[in-house]
Every structure is written in C-alpha cells, then in structure tokens.
C-alpha cells in the first residue's frame, strides 16, 4: 500500500519543508522578536538558532541515511531508540503541535483579513471563526482527494508566497539605515527587556516556531520517490528559510526602532513596509501572508494526518487511525485532527487565546519530539550502529548529534516552566490511545520505566490543571 504512493520527488519534498516552515511566523517576525530582544541579543540568538537548527537538520539527514527502514521521522526515531511510550509521546506531541499550530494560523489569517474587513477583528471574533471553519473544511476536502495532488498545490503556493518575501527584502535593504540598527544595540535603554542573556532566552521560542517543519520531509519518507532525497530536501529547505528569516528580521531593525517594532500590530512586516513605501506595501504583505498561510495550512493538515497514520501502521496508535480512502489518504486521522482544530477555533471565542499564546504552546509541544530524535542520533553514533561501511563519518555525526541534543535541552529551558507544565497537561490524555493500541496487541501498557515517566507526566498535568484553575497559569 505504501509502495503505491511513493511518488514525491525532491522538489515536492523541499516544498513540504519550506511550505511547513514558512507559514505566518515570518510575517510577524519583526514584532515578535522586538517585543523581547534588542538588535544585539537578536544577532546572538540567531547565531545559536542557526547552529542548533542546522545540527537538527543534519540529524534528520543522517537518520534518513543510516536508518532507511524507519519511516515517519520524529515518531519512528523516538520509538526505535527509547521504547514504545517515548515513540507514542513523540507522535502525540508532534501531532498536537501541528494542529494547535493550525489553529494559530487560522487566528492570524483572519486577523490579517481584519486589516481589510474590521468585522474579523483579531481573528477570534464570531465572523472570523465562521470564516476559519469554512476554510478548514475546504482544505479537508482537498486533502481527501489525494496527498500527491495536495503536495502539487503546496509546491505552487510555496513559490507564490516566497515572491513577496523577496520583494520585502530588496526594498528593506535599500531603506536600511545603520544608525537605526545600532541605536541602543544591547537594549540597555529598555529595562523591561532585561539582561542580554534574558533577551536571548526570551526570543528562543519564536525562533523555534519559525523553523518547525524542518522535519517535514522525514515525516513523508515512506512516500518519497528516492530515500536519499529526504535528507537533501531537509538541508536545502533549512538553508533557504534561514536566509529569508534572518534578512527579514535584521533589515526590519534598520528601518524602525526596537520600541516601534514591538508596538506594531501583526503581521508586523506589513507595518514595516508601509513605513517605507506607504499603504500599498502593507497590502502586498497582507496578500502574501494570506497565500502563505493557505499553503502552510495545507502542509500541516497533511502532516497531522500522516503522523497519526504512521503510528497506527506499526500499532503504536490504535488501528482505526490506519484506515485509508481510495486516494490513499488516512481519513480517520484527518477527521480527528480537523475535528479538534474546529473545537479549538470555537474555544478562541471564549478565551484570550491569541496567535502568540497558541504559537508558544505549539512550540513547547514539539520540543520533546525534537529532543528524542537528536538523542537517538547520538545513541546510534555512540554505538557505531549503521556506520559499518562508513566509520570515518561516525565522529562527525557524534559531534553534530551531541550539539543538537544540547540545543534541544536548551530550548526546553528557554521555554520556561509554564509551557512545560501546559505540555504535560496535553501529553497526559494521550495515554488512552496508547493503552488502546497496546490492548489491541495483547501487550501490557507500560514497562516499569515507562510507568515512572508517565507518573511524572501526570504530576505535571495535575500542577498545570491546578494552575489554570487558580489563575497562576494561563493559555
């Protein structure tokens, strides 16, 4: 069945990586970064991010080559290295991150449309939720017609959304003023920003968010025409997106001050370009964002369904998620994902959930899958497993995996206790599906070590629930 769908070429895989990473984040990057850091701290943060994320890209490339039998990327690596529950948790966390990310995209999409139609407000009004629901189920119907067709549309939309970004970079480079960029370079004039290291830490979740999707090709490794293209697509997509992100962020800080950028409404790229060329610049970026978000929604809808399907295919998820339609689309996984997106869209009507708060929560959920992937690569290179015919590459891969693992741990620290606890609250209910899958195979639910890990998750979830009730934690 999987062999019949191995038809994604290198360009489609690159588009899945780029399309997954370039969603709404880059269009809001100037304000998101300036809200927590000065120009100097931002440059340090991008340096750490570039090294850390590049090592993660190399990790996914290495694992695709060393373990060609493992499909579905982040999920499969955690399971192979650390057992069924860690594998399930990676799949569960990745899936939750994906659909919560889609909710944030819908909020940002209709917040952007609110620039033209005030009825949509900040993207969480009743008209906005109705509009988002219509878009959600339109994408659902499109994906039901087949992953190959959806991947082609994603390729076209990826090209379309890169064009306004390049136009922004060219115009911003011409308008860039060094004296604006270097003014209060370390943020000492704004006590609210804190020390340089505090600023770097505070911006890290935003940098992770804009790179989520780097593993997109790995998730589709089972459907790739050539296995070697998976690693190539990951690295090519990462380098291209990194260049776009850094240029957009740095050039913006040479046009408006940190305080001015921090006060912009998102999508803040529109406000920056409007400062340079007038209203048509804001219109251009807003249209580009709508196209970009449409493509990102498609990419992440595909990924949501694929990660559940991959888990069900090897019995880590319950068997009902393995059902495919005539177009080889995992229909039950798709319905479950989009049903929860619809539920959360309705919840945004009654809560203070904004794009940024949903962004931070989605990012915190994906940190665990990233950590286990890096740790598995470290384990393989330390053992020498898969290096029998390439012993010379083992030392290099060991260093890369060690850096990636340390970077993933740093991200958990940078995210803070609040989002770690909220993540536990979302991880805990997943045990119901895990237990169902184990029951279907006639196996005990947990090993002894897994019981201890789950107990820690339950304690964290209990603290988070109490914190939400008492008000010292919030979404």
Q: Any residues with CB less than 8 A from the CB of 188 and at least 6 apart, and which?
A: none
Indicate the domain borders of the chain: 3-418
In whole angstroms, give the CA distance from residue 7 to residue 425: 38
pLDDT on residue 217: 63
Whether 379 and 81 have beta carbons less than 8 Å apart is answered as: yes
> If we measure between CA atoms, which residue out of 362, 370, 355, 334 comes closest to residue 218?
370
Token pair in block for residue 431 = 């045990």
Per-residue confidence (pLDDT) for residue 1, from 0 to 100: 36
Inter-residue contact 87 to 76 (CB < 8 Å) = yes
pLDDT confidence of residue 3: 39
Residue in 371, 38, 289 with CA at minimum distance from that of residue 184 = 38
Q: Report the distance separating Cα 269 and Cα 248, nearest Å.
A: 8
pLDDT the model gives residue 218: 66
> In angstroms, rounded to a whole number, what is the distance separating the alpha carbons of residues 270 and 267?
6
Output the CA–CA distances (angstroms, integers) from residue 423 to 44, 364, 459, 461, in the order listed. 27, 7, 12, 8
- Give the per-residue pLDDT at 160: 73
Amino acid 123: pLDDT:
83
Low-confidence ranges of the chain (pLDDT < 50): 1-5
Sign of the C-alpha dihedral computed for residues 399, 402, 408 and 410 taken in this order: negative
Task: Please list the residues that pair with 96 across neighbouring strands.
Answer: none
Q: What is the DSSP letter of 474?
A: -
Helix, strand, coil percent values for the chain (each to nearest 5):
80, 0, 20
Report the run of H or E that residue 112 belongs to, with start and end.
Answer: helix 84-113
Q: How many residues does this entry show for the chain?
A: 475
Main-chain dihedrals φ then ψ at residue 465, nearest 5 degrees: -60, -40
Fold adopted by 3-418: Amino acid/polyamine transporter I (1.20.1740)
Give, in order, the Cα–Cα distances in Å from 363 to each of 136, 172, 232, 420: 21, 29, 24, 10
Predicted pLDDT of residue 361: 78
From the list 7, 5, 70, 4, the residue with the least C-alpha distance to 226 is 7
């Amino acid at each position: 069945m999987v062999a019949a769908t191995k038809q994604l070429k290198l360009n489609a895989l690159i588009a899945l990586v780029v399309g997954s990473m370039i969603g709404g984040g880059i269009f809001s990057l100037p304000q998101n970064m300036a809200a927590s850091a000065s120009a100097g701290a931002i440059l340090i943060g991008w340096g750490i991010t570039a090294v850390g994320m590049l090592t993660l890209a190399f990790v996914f490339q290495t694992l695709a080559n060393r373990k060609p039998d493992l499909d579905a990327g982040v999920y499969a690596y955690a399971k192979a290295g650390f057992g069924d529950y860690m594998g399930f948790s990676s799949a569960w966390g990745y899936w939750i991150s994906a659909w919560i990310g889609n909710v944030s995209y819908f909020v940002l999409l209709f917040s952007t449309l609110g620039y033209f139609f005030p009825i949509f407000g900040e993207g969480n009004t009743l008209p906005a939720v109705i509009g988002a629901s219509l878009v959600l189920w339109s994408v659902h119907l499109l994906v039901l017609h087949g992953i190959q067709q959806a991947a082609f549309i994603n390729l076209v939309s990826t090209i379309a959304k890169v064009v306004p970004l390049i136009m922004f970079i060219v115009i911003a480079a011409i308008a860039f003023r060094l004296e604006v960029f270097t003014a209060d370079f370390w943020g000492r004039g704004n006590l609210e920003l804190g020390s340089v290291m505090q600023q770097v830490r505070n911006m890290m979740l935003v940098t992770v968010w804009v790179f989520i999707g780097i593993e997109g090709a790995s998730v589709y490794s089972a459907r790739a025409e050539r296995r070697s293209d998976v690693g190539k697509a990951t690295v090519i997509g990462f380098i291209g997106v990194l260049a776009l992100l850094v240029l957009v962020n740095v050039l913006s800080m040479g046009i408006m001050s940190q305080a001015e950028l921090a006060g912009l409404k998102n999508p803040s790229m529109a406000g920056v370009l409007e400062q340079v060329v007038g209203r048509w610049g804001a219109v251009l970026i807003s249209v580009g964002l709508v196209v970009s978000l449409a493509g990102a929604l498609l990419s992440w809808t595909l990924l949501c369904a694929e990660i559940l399907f991959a888990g069900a295919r090897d019995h880590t998820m319950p068997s009902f998620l393995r059902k495919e339609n005539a177009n080889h689309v995992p229909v039950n996984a798709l319905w479950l994902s989009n049903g929860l997106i619809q539920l959360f869209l309705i919840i945004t009507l009654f809560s203070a959930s904004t794009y940024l708060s949903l962004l931070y929560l989605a990012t915190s959920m994906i940190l665990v899958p990233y950590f286990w992937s890096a740790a598995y690569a470290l384990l393989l290179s330390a053992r020498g497993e898969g290096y029998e015919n390439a012993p010379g590459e083992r030392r290099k891969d060991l260093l890369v995996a060690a850096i990636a693992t340390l970077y993933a741990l740093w991200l958990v620290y940078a995210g803070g206790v609040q989002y770690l606890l909220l993540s536990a609250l979302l991880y805990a209910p997943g045990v119901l599906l895990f237990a169902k899958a184990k029951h279907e195979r006639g196996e005990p639910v947990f090993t002894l070590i897994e019981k201890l890990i789950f107990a820690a998750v339950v304690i964290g979830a209990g603290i988070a629930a109490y914190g939400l009730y008492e008000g010292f934690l919030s979404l």
